[in-house]
Amino acid sequence: MYAVSIAGPGADRVAEELAERAEGRVGTVRTEADGEKRRWTETGDRTECVVGGDRSDGERPVRAALDRLAPDHEYAFVSDAPEARLPTVAVGGTREEAAVSVSEPPAFDPASALEAVRDTEPYETLESLVAEVKRSDLAAYSGAIATFTGRVRAKEDEADERTRCLEFEKYDGVAEDRMATIEAELEERAGVLDVRLHHRTGRILDGEDIVFVVVLAAHRGEAFDAVEDGIDRLKEEVPLFKKEVTDDEAFWVHQRE
């Protein structure tokens, strides 16, 4: 699922226009400070989610909505929620980190904005990847799905200073190609039918998920072996750089090794 935040004047209107142009199942997410805690409305291929409250929980209500949308939606457009740490469509070019800047209404081009959205990294969860392999053409031959989820560990032991977040960077294109190669080579094994690897980038808070391996296989043994080899090869072969941010310092892990 492609998920982006719309920032700037008229964010709700821009999100609605993009949702109308996008193909497949589309979700929109917005906040209402004085609204209900959550409101979920599904009409055909459109899902509208309202998260209420004063954002005292930071990004968590928005990301909870996205996690629910991810397994069966192609797009999610979030109105003006910078705390969600998503690629951003900036109306009027107001955000330096925007995935794309669009002109002030009414001049902006939804088709160009959607093309830029499709160039962003998909929003994946364990559930969305499991749902994807279940839709495989080979699913009828499967008797097992095995998964691995890597998380941000706050502490190794009680005496450690707390890790607040990890930040990951990758070589664009190279990392994706290497993961695709690992997936393809694992799928060549007898009994392994479909493999999905996904590693998040950017800032990931303690307790959040970092990396997923999902294997669809004929039998559990084949699935377990492919999951173990998949995460080992991802860590060894995919060019990813990790910064650790603790209570006292921030450092690139490869510079300490």
Q: What is the pLDDT of residues 10-20, one digit of tens each?
A: 888 889 989 99
pLDDT number for residue 148: 98
Q: What is the pLDDT of residues 205-253, one digit of tens each?
A: 999 999 999 999 999 999 999 999 999 999 999 999 999 999 888 988 8
Give backbone dihedrals phi and psi of 101, rounded to 5 degrees, phi first: -105, 135
Q: What is the pLDDT of residues 118-147, one digit of tens each?
A: 988 899 999 999 999 999 999 999 999 999
pLDDT number for residue 184: 98
Looking at 50, 82, 117, which one is the last position of a domain? Answer: 117
pLDDT number for residue 54: 53
Provide the number of structural domains found in the chain: 2
Looking at 117, 150, 167, which one is the last position of a domain? Answer: 117
Mean pLDDT of the region 95-104? 44
Residue span of the structural domain in which 32 resides = 2-117
- Sequence-separated (6 or more) residues with CB below 8 Å from residue 148: 211, 212, 213, 227, 228, 230, 231
Half-sphere exposure of residue 222, counting CA atoms within 13 Å on the CB side? 19
Q: How many CB atoms lie within 10 A of CB 18?
A: 23
